[in-house]
Chains A and B, each alone.
Chain A
């Protein structure tokens, strides 16, 4: 979700195999560099493989260009990596959020074959995505300050996740402003 010169990215914490829960502290949001985060939903093995490949490509880029990748460039990279596997795709939907030039927030999501969807307000992905669309659509306000943004995204996440059997066990929220990154773990229903 985008706020005023900041963004927030949130995920639930469950790892499961269909209806059996394997872990309740699984990390789904990964840091690429200080101002760029990617959340990967879907098959856990594909999420981890994709994350490792992306970190590899980003490190090579950093060595060559001597700077961090811009979020727009990173989104194109993820899209290309996913589209390469068009006929045997990764079972993974990424949500990318970062601060670009002049700390302007950038968010985008993709389907599993890399169709980019840029938005100016919020993007969602995952098994509870239908509920998330509804919750974010009604709770979102433009130009929110980081504290209010955190509250809004947490409420949207927890209320949607409560209506989905396959998600839950709390939440993990990162709120990023030009000066700091705040990582919070939310208390949610454990069922």
Chain B
């Protein structure tokens, strides 16, 4: 424990010191915990003035819905956003890490970040872990060179496309895009098309559900429409709710009052020379 204390804080990156022990435990019969996945529908499309990203909001743990309203559109830079599918911890960690690297790069160069910078940082990280960091991303943004949309696969390959879908609901969403997409869409048409694609994923794919999140990025501004559409409201809540006639039996109660923090107020006269 003392040796560990001397090494604090860790230098960053992954530590593999529990791997051997975990293998031993799994052999002895302990079930490895399942990870939170975002069986998802994420889409992006390029319209006349910029990029629109869309995502559903369901996070699953096996067959159970763990989070009915999670955020899958992650901030990378003021002009770049990224949707993530796959293992939730991986998408969150990878987007946070690249977002901070982009910020440092912005401080270093003094310029607005470019989408290809984020793309290169993400793909090199994912490739170096050979697909074990299971994050499938749709990266979109507008920089000085124009609007860009890219998809990044967990092994590190990337595509540059005018419209893209990823996740378990990608086929449902791609069907909508393939039939209705055309170049030069206006903002409202674009938002409507993205909502339709996500809804198609929500209703037809079991791994996607709940609400629709949309992010519209144009030159110089962005609009994050969280819960733009709520096509699955909870309508069956009973008005009076649950009331418990038989109270829970309590064996022991201990009440600890929280002491108020004493505030030192600097009163009195100023110090005289």
Q: List residues of A whose CB falls within 8 A of some B CB.
A: 18, 34-35, 42-43, 56, 60, 79, 82-93, 110-117, 119, 129-130, 133, 138-139, 141, 151-152, 154-155, 158, 170, 178-187
Contact = CB atoms under 8 A, between A and B. Distances in A.
A111 B255 contact: no
A91 B22 contact: yes
Interface in B235-260: 241-242, 244, 247-258
Given A180-B258, A183-B254, A84 B242 contact: no
A111 B37 CA distance: 10
Given A18-B29, A89-B22, A117-B36, A182 B87 contact: no
Nearest to B247: A151
Nearest to A139: B242
A167 to B, nearest CB: 15
Contacts of B257: 179-180
B93 A117 contact: no
A117 B67 contact: yes
Contacts of B248: 151, 154-155, 158, 186-187
B33 A93 contact: yes
Given A90-B18, A117-B66, A139-B242, A184 B252 contact: yes
A129 B90 CA distance: 23
A186 B249 contact: yes
Contacts of B90: 86, 113
Contact of B33 (A56, A111, A139, A184): A111
A100 to B, nearest CB: 15
Given A83-B93, A87-B132, A111-B88, A184 B250 contact: yes
Nearest to A112: B33
B230 interface: no
B256 to A, nearest CB: 5
A185 B250 contact: yes
B70 A117 contact: yes
B18 A113 contact: no
A75 B256 CA distance: 24
Interface range on chain B: under 10, 10 to 19, 20 to 34, or 35 or more? Answer: 35 or more
Nearest to B70: A117
| Most chain A beta-carbon contacts within 10 A, residue among B5, B25, B248, B249 | B248
The 10 A-B residue pairs whose C-beta atoms are closest, nearest first, are A88-B19, A115-B88, A115-B89, A88-B18, A187-B249, A154-B248, A111-B36, A112-B33, A113-B89, A115-B36
A117 B29 contact: no
A84 B15 contact: yes
Nearest to A180: B257
A56 B2 CA distance: 12
User: Which label, helix, strand, loop or mixed, suits the secondary structure of the A interface?
Assistant: mixed
Contacts of B271: none
B14 A85 contact: yes
A139 B249 CA distance: 18
Contact of A83 (B25, B32, B89): B89
Contacts of A138: 242
14 contacts: A56-B8, A60-B8, A84-B14, A84-B15, A85-B17, A86-B89, A88-B22, A91-B25, A111-B33, A111-B61, A111-B66, A115-B87, A115-B89, A129-B64
B16 interface: yes
B10 interface: yes
A93 B59 CA distance: 16
A185 B252 contact: yes
B30 interface: yes
A66 B171 CA distance: 53
A187 B258 contact: no
| Most chain B beta-carbon contacts within 10 A, residue among A92, A117, A133, A170 | A117
A112 B25 CA distance: 15
Given A35-B258, A185-B252, A87 B70 contact: no
